[in-house]
Amino acid sequence: MLLIKNAETYAPEYLGKKDILTGGGAILAIADRLSDIEGAEIIDADSKWVFPGFIDQHVHVTGAGGKNGFVSMTPELTASELAVCGTTTVVGLLGTDGAARSIKTLYAKVKALEQQGLTAYMYTGYYGVDPVHILDSIQEEMIFIDKVLGCKIAISDVRSSYPTDLELLRILKQVRVGGMIASKKGIMHIHLGGLKTCMDPLFRMVEDYEFPIEHISPTHVGRTKTIFESAKAFAKMGGMIDITTGASKYTDPHLSVLEAINEGVSIDKITFSSDGNAGLEKRDASGKVIGLRRAPVDQNYAEVVALIREGSLSVSDAIKPITLNPAINLGLKQKGRIAVGADADFCFVDPSNFELTDVIGRGEVLKKNGNVTINEPFS
């Protein structure tokens, strides 16, 4: 058991200074003052803000890249790389490559991250419409594999398989029906490339075929100005839009958020994800490729800080894109909030400089006073 004392608590709504008791990986009690309990570890959070643990719903945990040959394939992420930036819940996925990268390896990595204290899930599939699955179908994986929350596919990208409306609808059907049977929400997580078709197929899914918009999850909506115009319209229809912080952006992600809010989009319809560990090119001033780099996993929280400092958003609203909103998008009722019965995932922040000092995942300390406490067996 863990007893957090004197926490300035954002759930994400501001609750004031609270004591929080956890046990068995969940939040057991929240009150102005709780008595000490024999055997419980006590953490004094006085002078700290306490947020729900951060959620990153788009991370290449097993590596990505490869467009510059085999040598450009990025390595696997470690649990420490995620925990150090406050990510207590992660969703792994494949990218362009469904051959050299294995969906079974992705599942194994998700389970490994769980063993190290994180909460980890995955999407089945990859860029293509051709099957890259563990079982025989998307629907079976939604039903029988607890870690599968949905399916990934790419549209409006030269590397995609140019799926037809009917093919997209059939994926959506499998995701939704499989989710219904397995008591999951089920989403089709859609990589958006830069082609002029933008989000047109997604609007047709909703408007022409009347498919429920909450199962359609577009990402990289801030890749270009044109795509973002479509994304704002999608959000006003009730859809959730995901802005990438580590790559694929025409402007700073927090500026995209502020633009959308100023044009009537609710902050409740916007999420951040990192696209972390994707393979990116380094270029010189002339545009020549001079090297390779991995997309960072630590920019989600940095963009939240920018929303507070530069955008004058309240702390409660600013943290929603990496806490409550992705939890709603993924259908994870136990995540993204501080409430009795929710998972005991927390991030402690020093409000004087916004430094992330401590991270707790399912009641276990993953980062303490700035130092990650996860054991990396091959470090």
Q: Is 177 exposed, middle or buried (0-12, 13-18, 19+ CB in 10 A)?
A: middle
Q: How far apart are CA 166 and CA 338, in angstroms?
A: 40
H-helix or E-strand spanning residue 120: strand 119-125
- Catalytic site residue 252? no
Q: How far apart are CA 146 and CA 148, in angstroms?
A: 6
Residues 6+ apart with CB under 8 A from 64: 73, 74, 94, 95, 96, 97, 101, 277, 278, 279
Q: How far apart are CA 64 and CA 347, in angstroms?
A: 28
**β-pair type (364-368, 26-31):** unpaired
Contact 273, 298 (CB under 8 A): no
Q: Is 302 exposed, middle or buried (0-12, 13-18, 19+ CB in 10 A)?
A: middle
Q: Is 102 exposed, middle or buried (0-12, 13-18, 19+ CB in 10 A)?
A: middle
Q: What is the phi/psi pair of residue 328, to 5°?
A: -65, -45
Please identify which of the residues 19, 275, 345, 358 carries the catalytic annotation.
275
What residues are labeled active site? 275
